[in-house]
């Protein structure tokens, strides 16, 4: 079922195809580039596509008041593997309930000593890319440059001095669209290694009676999370072969002036990459050239069921990041509101 991306390189009308490589990435990147489109100082990329009118229009999609979270749990049972440089969130209590259940004196005496206040507090240690997340525009560089031509040297041990996540704190609200690919294809989930192309996205729009346009947040379901639930473990969800966006999807997404795209997979793009010599080519094209906001590890299962029940694949979407100074990405709890 794996679809192979090839490129028509014919200038004579004869169709010849070659394996995509770094040159392919450069060509698509160049074609889809948004550098300087919103000014030399821009640090928001495709979030510029969201207008106040988009937000108002999106509000009209709130009709039943049903709200759902698209987040996986942030905890020790998450998808990350040790040794990858990422780890699952570590949640620790600096004070807990049982701290108040013993000690010297009677409970009454202890209560009086502390003015009756008993409070628990907790601490979280997490990679900002640990679970459901946005990749910010300082997350990926290509040849030492990031989105809009900023040097990678702006991202030091102190964080991102350009393209930080903080610019997006009030920008990720608008219309959400679900493209449920397995539903279109009559399967429960796409196969690992399946590269989603333009026609797949087009088919999904047609089948689900939805259009994708400027300022939209496009959520693409591959069914990978359903597989995780089915087998009862994450297994190689993080880093293993997975379905995802393919090189052929880039122009389609670029032309529609969307604001962001997210999937229910770890990498968003297909794994293994279609380019033998380039690792994660779409992270380069999307983040560096397009300034496109990528969401990963979204749980789209309940959303898909709701879209089918309500027979509509559009909804109000709010997935604002935390305002982390110098942040490269952010853990999020994306909401869909119907």
The neighbouring-strand residues paired with 92 are: 123
Other C-beta atoms lying within 10 Å of the C-beta of residue 228: 19
Nearest CB to its own copies, comparing residues 224 and 303: 303
Nearest CB to its own copies, comparing residues 243 and 321: 321
Backbone angles phi and psi of 337, in degrees to 5:
-125, 125
Backbone angles phi and psi of 175, in degrees to 5:
-90, 130
The correct pick among 25, 44, 218, 245 for binding its own copies (CB under 8 A) is 25
Nearest approach in angstroms of CB 242 to its own copies is: 16
The correct pick among 13, 85, 186, 232 for binding its own copies (CB under 8 A) is 85
Question: Within positions 87 to 106, which residues make up the interface with its own copies, using CB under 8 A?
Answer: 87-103
Question: Within positions 142 to 181, which residues make up the interface with its own copies, using CB under 8 A?
Answer: 142-144, 146, 151-160, 166, 169-171, 173
Nearest approach in angstroms of CB 302 to its own copies is: 9
Nearest approach in angstroms of CB 25 to its own copies is: 7
Which residues lie closer than 8 Å to 102 by C-beta, 6 or more apart?
A: none
Nearest CB to its own copies, comparing residues 81 and 221: 81
Q: How far is CA 130 from the centre of its chain?
A: 12
User: The tokens of 63 are what?
Assistant: 């009709």
User: The tokens of 299 are what?
Assistant: 């749980």
Nearest approach in angstroms of CB 108 to its own copies is: 9
Contact present, 266 and 290 (Cβ < 8 Å): no
Question: Within positions 267 to 286, which residues make up the interface with its own copies, using CB under 8 A?
Answer: 273, 277-281, 283-284
Nearest approach in angstroms of CB 220 to its own copies is: 21
Question: Within positions 202 to 261, which residues make up the interface with its own copies, using CB under 8 A?
Answer: none
Question: Which value, to the nearest 10 degrees, does the dihedral of the CA atoms of residues 50, 56, 61, 64 take?
Answer: 130
The correct pick among 120, 188, 199, 229 for binding its own copies (CB under 8 A) is 120
Beta strands 335-337 and 155-156 are unpaired
Nearest approach in angstroms of CB 258 to its own copies is: 17
Question: Within positions 35 to 74, which residues make up the interface with its own copies, using CB under 8 A?
Answer: 51-56, 58-60, 62-69, 71-74
Query: What is d(CA 208, CA 45) in angstroms, rounded to the nearest whole number?
Result: 28
Contact present, 167 and 44 (Cβ < 8 Å): yes
Q: Which stretch binds its own copies (CB under 8 A): 33-41, 135-143, 219-227, 305-313?
A: 135-143
Nearest CB to its own copies, comparing residues 103 and 209: 103
Q: What would you measure as the largest C-alpha separation in the chain, in angstroms?
A: 92
């Amino acid at each position: 079922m794996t679809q192979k991306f090839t490129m028509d390189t014919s200038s004579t009308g004869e169709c010849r195809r070659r394996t995509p490589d770094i040159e392919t990435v450069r060509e698509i990147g160049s074609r889809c580039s948004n550098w300087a489109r919103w000014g030399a100082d821009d640090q928001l990329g495709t979030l510029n596509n969201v207008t106040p009118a988009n937000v108002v229009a999106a509000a009209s999609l709130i009709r039943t008041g049903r709200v759902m979270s698209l987040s996986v749990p942030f905890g020790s049972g998450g998808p990350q593997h040790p040794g990858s440089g990422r780890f699952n969130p570590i949640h620790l209590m600096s004070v807990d309930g049982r701290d108040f259940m013993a000690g010297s004196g009677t409970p009454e005496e202890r209560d009086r000593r502390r003015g009756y206040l008993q409070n628990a507090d907790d601490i979280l240690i997490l990679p900002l890319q640990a679970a459901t997340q946005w990749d910010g525009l300082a997350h990926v560089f290509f040849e030492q440059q990031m989105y809009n031509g900023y040097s990678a040297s702006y991202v030091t041990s102190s964080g991102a001095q350009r393209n930080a996540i903080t610019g997006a704190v009030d920008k990720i609200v608008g219309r959400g669209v679900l493209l449920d690919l397995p539903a279109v294809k009559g399967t429960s989930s796409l196969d690992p290694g399946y590269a989603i192309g333009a026609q797949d996205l087009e088919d999904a729009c047609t089948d689900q009676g939805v259009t994708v346009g400027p300022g939209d947040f496009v959520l693409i379901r591959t069914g990978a999370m359903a597989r995780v639930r089915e087998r009862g473990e994450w297994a190689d969800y993080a880093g293993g072969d997975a379905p995802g966006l393919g090189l052929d999807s880039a122009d389609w997404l670029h032309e529609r002036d969307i604001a962001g795209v997210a999937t229910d997979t770890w990498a968003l793009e297909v794994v293994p990459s279609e380019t033998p010599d380039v690792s994660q080519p779409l992270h380069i094209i999307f983040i560096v050239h397009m300034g496109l906001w990528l969401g990963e590890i979204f749980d789209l299962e309940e959303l898909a069921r709701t879209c089918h029940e309500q027979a509509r694949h559009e909804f109000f979407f709010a997935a604002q990041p935390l305002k982390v100074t110098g942040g490269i990405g952010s853990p999020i709890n994306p909401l869909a509101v119907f």
